[in-house]
Amino acid sequence: MVKKLKVAVLGVTGAVGQEFLELLKERKFPIEELRLLASGRSAGKKIEFMGKSYQVEEAKPDSFKGLDLVLSSAGGAISRELAPHIVKSGALMVDNTSAFRMDPEIPLVVPEINPEDIAKHKGIIANPNCSTIIMLVPLFPIHKVAKIKRIIAATYQAASGAGAKAMEELKVQAQDFLAGRPVKKQVLPHQIAFNVFSHNSKIGPDGYCEEETKMVKETKKIFHDAAIRVTATCVRVPVLRAHSEALFIETEKKISVEEVRQLLSKAPGLKVIDDREKNYFPMPLEATGQDDILVGRLREDPTTTNGLTMFVSGDQIRKGAALNAIQIAELAFAG
């Protein structure tokens, strides 16, 4: 990257906002000026970054003047409200909400898959849903070689997907349950400690929840393949951080498990964890804090032609959100 940038983090007090700061520091992102923005109720809070104390400011239409980049994760409604002001200011908005993902005029990007779409932006680039990213990074190398016709996904989604408050609720509920105290629900609709339940997004008239529908529609857009068939069942599990997914695919061309293992071991953003002898495969505990998505349980699906199945785990806050957005920004401002 050639020059230092004037950067704002919008939604800085949330789980993804905090991860933005961690990754900007880790990746030595070239920052000339940093603005930390959030809702009015967070304004005035102090946050330390790279040895300097910053005060959180309330995000307003005039908060973006002179900026080069806005990393946004403050909720869809706020993104829609402030996006016109960000674009007008001349800054690039990399948005981590669902507000713009399916807008045909706005690129939806996973850098390992469709980096060329970044150049098509008109001031906004959308970051895909976390479950979509964690699914597609390991599937794309296979898709390029053997063309995937169909994907069936079952997700095991951590509390982190519902934000920092949901992660805290899981901790408190686990402590209360083990101490024999009543378990209280405030953030999630059902008890998350020692329980599993269908993803807490709205169920549509077709019986699919919003999370499942996102995975279907976003895959078609990112792969530039309207014909690919995708179905998903999304579930919340009592894991603090990092989503896991069981993936079942059918390819047009026959590809062996060993070929897949070789492909994935060389692909960017992935780490193959596939030790059958030790029964050692991807786990959210080990995916937490990692940039790479873990992939394993590679095997043929004998119930269909050219079928393969695998299990993946990826840090929902990192690659599923903040890291993907920063990788987009790095490419957008490269050279």
- 243 catalytic, yes or no? yes
* Contact predicate 307/151, CB 8 Å: no
- Domain residues for 152? 132-316
How far is it, in rounded angstroms, from Cα 34 to Cα 180? 46
Instruction: Find the CATH number of the domain harbouring 280.
Output: 3.30.360.10
- 190 catalytic, yes or no? no
Instruction: Find the CATH number of the domain harbouring 96.
Output: 3.40.50.720
Claim to verify: residue 239 and residue 303 sit in the same structural domain: yes
Claim to verify: residue 93 and residue 147 sit in the same structural domain: no
Claim to verify: residue 312 and residue 326 sit in the same structural domain: no
Claim to verify: residue 199 and residue 327 sit in the same structural domain: no
Apex 173 CA angle, 167 and 176, nearest 5 = 145
* Confidence (pTM): 0.96
**What is the residue-level pLDDT of the chain in tens, covering all 335 positions?**
558 999 999 999 998 999 999 999 999 999 999 999 998 888 999 999 999 999 999 999 999 999 999 999 998 999 999 999 999 999 999 999 999 999 999 999 999 999 999 999 999 999 999 999 999 999 999 999 999 999 999 999 999 999 889 999 999 999 999 999 999 999 999 999 999 999 999 999 999 999 999 999 999 999 999 999 999 999 999 999 999 999 999 999 999 999 999 999 999 999 999 999 999 999 999 999 999 999 999 999 999 999 999 999 999 999 999 999 999 999 999 96
Claim to verify: residue 141 and residue 124 sit in the same structural domain: no
- Specify the residue for token string 């979509």: 132
Claim to verify: residue 284 and residue 327 sit in the same structural domain: no
- Quick one: angle between helices 257-266 and 130-146, nearest 10? 120
Considering 85, 121, 143, 243, which one is annotated as catalytic? Answer: 243
Claim to verify: residue 267 and residue 168 sit in the same structural domain: yes
Claim to verify: residue 157 and residue 103 sit in the same structural domain: no
Claim to verify: residue 106 and residue 25 sit in the same structural domain: yes
Considering 130, 199, 209, 234, which one is annotated as catalytic? Answer: 130
